[in-house]
Amino acid sequence: MTTSTEFFIDPQQGLKEDRVFIYHDKQLLVRGKNLYWSNSEIQHLLSNSHRPLLIDIQNRIRYLAVQFEKDVCDSIDAELVSLWKILLETDNSQFRFAGLGSQLLNWYNSHRFCGTCGSPTQPHELERAMVCPSCQLSFYARINPCVIVLVTRGQELLLAKHTRTRTGFHSCLAGFIEVGETPEQAVAREVKEEVGIEVENIRYIKSQSWPFPSQLMLGFFADYKAGDLRPDRKEIEEAAWFLPGDLPLGPAASISVAGELIALHLQRFGF
């Protein structure tokens, strides 16, 4: 994007072609399979207190995100759907916009005031940032880096059921990278903390933006080195070694890097 891009849109300056994602109470307003709305459909609901944020521009079409404090489902014949449900049920390109819009609104809503002096912030004129007019600090949208790791022992996969699982799936181990850590150090620490074993040969595979609420997931493989499985019961309810032909219900490769790591391991052994 160039510096002349407008990241904060005046609600009166909507374009006919804009595609607008509407959020309320951390959910998205949708109609059937349509995740976004045209300006003409929602213009009557916008007031000057709304501040649509630019998600992206593709083929000269602006994709915007706007938050409504009130539930306006009835007035536009919409229903509220969670991002999580959208991830599971829609194609990836639409989910990318919906997820990014949610992250941007989260950031915008939590940076109305300067963290240093407490003054109300203002949108930056040129960049996607909020600025404090008193101390000139800029606040950019942030991501939180996390690691997600598939630990293997020969053919076996270590899969765990997380205590806060939304799906009931068994999946890879994951956690936030702490200040001062490399991603590889975070992998070794998280595995040790969550299930009590040591790993080696930690290698990066691929990454994924994960808007629940604002993570960058870095996906790794690691080999089992030593120790017995002892789930910590705080984050991990149960953890076990599984053979490729006998896996519990887990995430699909099409939606998450965890699913892709599992699929890659199975491919290696011809499954």
Q: Which stretch binds Zn ion (CB under 5 A): 125-133, 171-179, 189-197, 254-262?
A: 125-133
Residues 171 and 151: their CA atoms lie apart, in Å, by 11
**Site track 53-92 with Zn ion (rule: CB under 5 A), x = hit:** ----------------------------------------
Beta strands at 61-67 and 19-24: parallel, antiparallel or unpaired: parallel
Does position 114 interact with Zn ion (CB under 5 A)? The reply is yes
Among 61, 117, 126, 249, binds Zn ion (CB under 5 A): 117
Give just the sign of the alpha carbon dihedral 164, 165, 170, 172: negative
Q: Which stretch binds Zn ion (CB under 5 A): 13-21, 83-91, 100-108, 131-139?
A: 131-139
Does position 236 interact with Zn ion (CB under 5 A)? The reply is no
Query: In the block, which residue shows the tokens 């040591």?
Result: 198
Q: Which stretch binds Zn ion (CB under 5 A): 99-107, 110-118, 172-180, 200-208?
A: 110-118
For residue 242, the Cα-to-chain-centroid distance in whole angstroms is: 28
Of residues 167, 260, 156, 269, the one with CA closest to residue 208: 260
Whichever of 12 and 109 has its CB closer to Zn ion, that residue is 109
Does position 122 interact with Zn ion (CB under 5 A)? The reply is no
The beta-carbon contacts of 125-129 under 8 Å, at least 24 apart in sequence, are: 126/3, 126/4, 127/3, 127/7, 128/7, 128/54, 128/104
Q: Are 267 and 244 in contact (CB under 8 A)?
A: no
* Cα angle: 217, vertex 178, 164; to 5 degrees: 60
> Where are the extended beta strands (E) located within 154-263?
156-162, 173-176, 198-210, 215-226, 236-242
Whichever of 133 and 154 has its CB closer to Zn ion, that residue is 133
Q: Which stretch binds Zn ion (CB under 5 A): 101-109, 114-122, 172-180, 223-231?
A: 114-122
The three-class DSSP label of residue 144 is strand
Q: Are 165 and 139 in contact (CB under 8 A)?
A: no
For residue 7, the minimal CB distance to Zn ion (Å) is 20
For residue 130, the minimal CB distance to Zn ion (Å) is 10
For residue 156, the minimal CB distance to Zn ion (Å) is 53
Does position 132 interact with Zn ion (CB under 5 A)? The reply is yes
Among 5, 134, 165, 167, binds Zn ion (CB under 5 A): 134
Whichever of 114 and 188 has its CB closer to Zn ion, that residue is 114
Among 61, 126, 135, 249, binds Zn ion (CB under 5 A): 135
Instruction: Name the site residues for Zn ion (rule: CB under 5 A).
Output: 114, 116-117, 119, 132, 134-135
